[in-house]
Structure 1
Amino acid sequence: MRSSLHHFSRGVLPTRRRLSPYFSNSQIPSLSSHLQSSSRVPPSYALHFLLNSNFSFQNLCSQSAAKLDSSTKRCWNCVADKTGTTPFLYCDSCRSIQPVDLSIDYFQIFGLEKKYEIEVDSLEGKYKDWQKKLHPDLVHSKSEKERGYAAEQSARVIDAYRTLSKPLSRAIYILRLEGVDVDEEQTVSDPELLTEIMEIREAVEEAPDSQALNQIQSKMAEKLEESSNSFVNAYQSRNFDEAVACIQRMTYYQRASEEILKKL
């Protein structure tokens, strides 16, 4: 019984995921696809690339995209000083795309306070606004350097959008900003959760019809919301051990929901 629980728990929990490397121009979805899509999730092939990369976005950013001095930001092209509070991804003076500044986090890219509870519906409009300025299609006739900046910036905005759009990835990211690296490969050790994993797996396998599966799916949604609320409390109280435990539960419930959807 213990070995089967161990095998199943590793099967439903995802492997460690890292921030993506930048796309080449051919890998980034076209600008028109960004602006026409009404989904909160980037196009599937871009998302697949982001989720399955074995490299770090930070490692593959160019030398010039290293962390910049946050006290002085000037356009590399026209040397104009940064103005306003908008993250300096793009120069309004000469319309040049800037190198990636890793001191700008994903919340700042979307003009959000760094907190778990955000208005997800507000992300899409800002996402499209950034792509209207940063997409590689817009700089195809410019220098190789700026085309590289466009590829890096556009890819980073895609990853920021994907990360903040989902409760689980947003929870993992906000803990990493606090210096807490969540090990998504860690085996489930909570006996109660292990038992629950097996019971739900059996219920899914024995479900006689789609109605029964939908009922289980509804329970998973409730449990995911409960774990998400528990994460909020743990994060706000700086109880990072409990926050990590909440992420582990959220990870399982999301994976269980995905398994159910495959059967519907």
Structure 2
Amino acid sequence: MSVVVANPSASDDYFRFFGLEQQFNLDLSALEQAYLAIQKEVHPDRHARGSDTEQRLAMQMATLANTAFQTLKNPVQRGLYLCQLHGVDARLETNTAMPAAFLMKQMEWRESLEEREEDLAALESLAEEVAVSKKDTLSEIALAVDGAKNYERAAELLRGLLFIDKFALELDDAISVLV
């Protein structure tokens, strides 16, 4: 019995591995279907009677499928991965430079959170504003990657999205205390 995978030679490109187009706007149901098909094929139970090599290869493919799926399923990770594939390192650890308008918005949000931490309606309104900002940023990333192929711009937007996501979590925590 041999391990059959959609495209095992494409392990250096998670999109090709799943037979998907290399793009930010991804059909998540197609990703999940491809993932499940590969997992079914390489599941260790299917190769329990195979040689040690076949069992090891099945385990490697299952691990690769898991890693690839988790990367592509998450918009931030998918965007960073696309940037990496095109030679752009987002330098998340060292590059925290952001446009002034974005930083001002972040400061406004933080002040609103601190000033209204006991006001559920105000926090829920702020959460809606943050959700819209996240949606807009995701759209901008899709335009930068899928449209303009501008991976430097995408990396900048992804750094901003990380800030937005982090603040959204803090905001959710503040709301959950009041609910």
TM-score over 0.5 (shorter chain): yes
Indicate which of 120, 143, 150 corresponds to 2:58.
Answer: 150
C-alpha distance in 1, partners of 2:34/2:11? 19
Aligned residues: 171
- 1:126 and 2:37 are equivalent in the alignment: no
> In the alignment, which residue of structure 2 is the partner of 1:258?
169
**Structure showing the higher helix proportion among its residues:** 2
Alignment counterpart, residue 114 of structure 1, candidates 22, 38, 61: 22
Asked if 1 retains the 8 angstrom alpha-carbon contact of 2:11 and 2:17, the reply is no
Asked if residue 223 in structure 1 is aligned to residue 130 in structure 2, the reply is: no
Offset at residue 133 of structure 1 (A): 1.0
Sequence identity of aligned pairs in percent? 26
Residues 62-81 of structure 1: matches in 2 within 5 Å? Answer: none
Structure 2 vs 1, CA of residues 156 and 210 (structure 1 numbering), >3 Å: closer, same or farther? farther
Structure 1 residues 143 and 228: CA distance shift in structure 2, 3 A: same
Residue by residue over 1:133-191, the C-alpha shift from the partner in whole angstroms, topping out at 9 and shown as x without a partner, is 11234323433322222222112111221122122111111111111122111223433
Deviations 1:62-105 (A, max 9, x none): xxxxxxxxxxxxxxxxxxxxxxxxxxxxxxxx443579535551
Q: What is the Cα-based RMSD across aligned positions, in Å?
A: 2.4
User: Does the 8 A contact of 1:100 with 1:149 survive in 2?
Assistant: no
Per-residue CA deviation, residues 208-254 of structure 1 (Å, 9 max, x unaligned), is 24443332222222111211222222222233332221111111112
Say whether the 8 Å CA contact 2:44–2:59 is kept in structure 1. Answer: yes
One of 102, 105, 109 as aligned partner of 2:13: 105
Name the aligned partner's letter for residue 96 of structure 1: V
Kept after mapping to 2: 8 A contact 1:100/1:152: no
The residue that corresponds to 1:196 in the other structure is: 105
Distance in 2, matches of 1:215 and 1:137, equals 50
State whether structure 2 residue 148 is matched by structure 1 residue 240.
no
The reply to whether residue 184 of structure 1 matches residue 92 of structure 2 is: yes
Q: Which runs of 5+ in 2 are unaligned?
A: none
Q: Structure 1 pair 146/226, CA: closer, same or farther in 2 (3 Å)?
A: same
Cα-to-partner distance string for 1:21-40 (whole Å, 9 max, x where unaligned): xxxxxxxxxxxxxxxxxxxx
Other structure's SS at 1:188 match: coil
Whether contact under 8 Å (1:188, 1:194) holds in the other structure is no
Query: 2 CA distance for matches of 1:249 and 1:187?
Result: 9
Does the CA-based 8 Å contact 1:97-1:146 persist in structure 2?
no
**Kindly tell me: are residues 212 and 151 of structure 1, through their superposed partners in 2, closer, same or farther at Cα, counting changes over 3 Å?**
farther
Following the alignment from structure 2 to structure 1, what is the Cα–Cα distance between the partners of residues 103 and 172?
Answer: 21
| Conserved? CA contact 2:90–2:155, under 8 Å | yes
Residues 1:192 and 1:113: Cα distance change in structure 2 (over 3 Å): same
Tell me the distance in 1 between the aligned counterparts of 2:119 and 2:54. Answer: 55
CA 1:160–1:115: 2 relative to 1, 3 Å: same
Is contact 1:97–1:149 with CA below 8 Å preserved after alignment?
Answer: no
TM-score for both structures, normalised by structure 2: 0.80
